[in-house]
Amino acid sequence: MSHTTATARTGQTADRASLLRSSLSTRASAVEAAIDSLLPPVPGAEGRVIDAMRYATLGGGKRLRGYLTAEVASLFDVDAARSYRVAASVEMLHAYSLVHDDLPAMDDDDLRRGQPSTHRKFDEATAILAGDALQTMAFEILAHEATHSDATIRIGLVSALAAASGAAGMVGGQMIDMEGEGRSLSLPEVERLHALKTGCLIRYAAEAGAILGQVDPSVRARIAAYGRDLGAAFQIADDVLDATASAEELGKTAGKDQAAGKSTYVALLGVEGAAREARRVAEQAEAHLDIFGPEADRLRDLIRYVVDRRS
């Protein structure tokens, strides 16, 4: 390959990375606006829990899950207002999981996105209630006719989110994580833990866009597989970051997994081995998109962003 060709390809890669960052920022702002609209401040005694819910959801962040929903939905020309309602819903469900994950009874973390975690900003009881309310509101949004006029679509969204977030999904993964503290897990056990705890919700976020698009089952399965493998790559990269990045870069306490005696990809494979595995899974995720043309390039670029990120 000539120097000129290599330079051109490097420039094209940089251009696509820049376009992705712009797309991420634009969609994150739209998701933030949707959450703000769906969750306005209220007076009265219940206003405190609403304030805690807003604190947990409106504090910034990558909005990766909301981005996935909106970006996949755009492949199928879904109305943006509908897709951002669903994106807000999945971000609320994710925020609930983080609020509860940070509690002293679980990961006991004082930092989230560089700010005091919800139970530190408010108090433990308020944080528990805020998490509970965010979870129920996520389903309330999906069940509302403003999300889709077709009740079958709404039921599909509710059913898929329930499966992704319950005992056979995210909550089950959290239980495995807690039970695994202080003991060695095998690589298949670690893969299953994170497929449930992290991967299920990321897979759902992508699949929700396909549900909104009312696509053929084969296409939905491809999107779901993409989300599954993207979630795996995300978690492996997260383990590498936990071992190599600072608290300032992460926006949360660094090195907590090792301190808690948790089995991670880095503990099992080493930093370089885990980075190689992230790249392997990333290639697998991209292969699921081969049924699409350039319209799916941002989803392809998102894979590289997830693996190469520094926070």
Each residue of 173-208: pLDDT tens digit? 999 998 888 888 999 999 999 999 999 999 999 999
Cβ atoms of 179 and 226 within 8 Å: the answer is: no
Question: Residue 116 pairs with which residues in a beta bridge?
Answer: 111
Count of beta carbons in the 10 Å neighbourhood of residue 247: 13
Q: Please state the domain extents for the chain.
A: 13-308
Each residue of 113-138: pLDDT tens digit? 888 899 999 999 999 999 999 999 99
Question: Residue 111 pairs with which residues in a beta bridge?
Answer: 116
Of 12-16, 17-21, 130-134, the poorest mean pLDDT is in 12-16
Task: Look at residue 255 in the predicted model and tell me its pLDDT.
Answer: 66
Count of beta carbons in the 10 Å neighbourhood of residue 149: 9
Task: Look at residue 5 in the predicted model and tell me its pLDDT.
Answer: 44
Task: Decide: helix, strand or coil at residue 46.
Answer: coil
Which string of b and e fits 21-50 if b means at least 16 CB within 10 Å? Answer: eebbeebbebbbebbeebbeeeeeeeeebb
Long-range contacts of 51-55 (CB under 8 A, 24+ apart): 51/122, 52/118, 52/121, 52/122, 52/126, 52/127, 52/129, 52/130, 53/92, 53/95, 53/130, 53/133, 53/134, 53/137, 55/118, 55/121, 55/122, 55/130
d(CA 167, CA 173): 8
Task: Decide: helix, strand or coil at residue 44.
Answer: coil
Of 46-50, 86-90, 241-245, the poorest mean pLDDT is in 241-245
Task: Decide: helix, strand or coil at residue 115.
Answer: strand
Q: What is the mean pLDDT of the chain?
A: 91
Q: Say which CATH architecture domain 13-308 belongs to.
A: Orthogonal Bundle (1.10)
The DSSP output letter for 295 is: G
The DSSP output letter for 117 is: -
* CA-derived radius of gyration, the chain: 19
CA dihedral sign, ordered 190, 196, 202, 204: positive
Each residue of 51-92: pLDDT tens digit? 999 999 997 788 999 999 999 999 999 999 999 999 999 999
State the distance between the two ends of the chain, measured CA to CA, in whole angstroms.
33
Residue 4 — pLDDT band, cuts 50, 70, 90?
Answer: very low
Task: Look at residue 45 in the predicted model and tell me its pLDDT.
Answer: 83
Q: Residue 172 contacts by C-beta under 8 Å, 6 or more apart in sequence? A: 166, 196, 197
| For residue 46, pLDDT beyond 60 | yes
Could you tell me how far CA 131 lies from the centroid of its own chain?
16
- Residue at token pair 């005694």: 45
Task: Look at residue 303 in the predicted model and tell me its pLDDT.
Answer: 96
